[in-house]
Structure formats: structure tokens, C-alpha cells
Amino acid sequence: MKAIPASAKERKRYIRIKVDSDSRVEKGDLEKLVIQAGLQLLGELGMARAGIQLLTDTWNGHTAIIRVGHKFVDEAKAALALIKEFGGKKITVSAVKVSGTIANVKGE
């Protein structure tokens, strides 16, 4: 089977997000929140195309990194803005920085 050329591969972008909440949010709960928000805005087909995925090993209690296709960065940010509550308590998720490499997103 022939290899896919680099120009035909989907480019990834990494979004560092900041989570503000009164209560503690576990990484499993955050992953569910991100997926639910994406499904609410984009639907199943849009989520499959966008490839939105939380990188769970980057969660430190306040910030995390999400991987998304380069064409869907704005849609991913909009989906994250839809997250308003978790478990009956207010929660705010905001995009802090977007980059093409994980090292640049972790940089600050």
C-alpha cells in the first residue's frame, strides 16, 4: 500500500484551554464535557471531521490541551464556549492559546 503524502494529511492544531470552576473538575469529567459540547454544536459527523480530542495527560487541574484539525479551530473554540455548567455548578472554559505544536502551547 502506498504511503499518504504529507501534503494530503490533516494538519493538527493544539488549543490550550483554561477551566474556571468553583468545584474540582476531574479529567474524565472534562473529557466528557468537551465531547458533549462538540456533539451539541457540530454533531457526530462534524466531530468526526474535526477530530476534537482532549489530551488527558496534559490536565493539571486548571489547564489542558485539546487537539483539533486545522480547519476546525474556530468551531472547537465555539463548542468550548458553550460549556456553562457541570454538576449544577457554574464552569467557564476558554481558549488561551492555539499553536501547531504542543511545545509552543505548553510554553507559557
Q: Which of 21-25, 61-65, 104-108 has the lowest mean pLDDT?
A: 104-108
Q: How many domains does the chain have?
A: 1
Question: 64-86: per-residue pLDDT in tens?
Answer: 999 999 999 999 999 999 999 88
Residue 51 lies in a domain: yes
Residue 3 lies in a domain: no
Is 44 within a domain? yes
Question: What pLDDT, on a 0 to 100 scale, did the predictor assign at position 9?
Answer: 80
* Residue 17: closest CA among 72, 58, 70: 58
**Cα separation of 69 and 11, whole Å?**
6
Contact of 58 with 46, CB cutoff 8 Å: no
Give the structural domain span for 38: 10-106
Indicate which CATH number applies to the domain containing 53.
3.30.70.3250
DSSP assignment string, 51-91: T-EEEGGG--SSEEEEEEEGGGHHHHHHHHHT--EETTEEE
Give tens-digit pLDDT for 38-51. 999 999 999 999 99
Global model pTM greater than 0.95? no
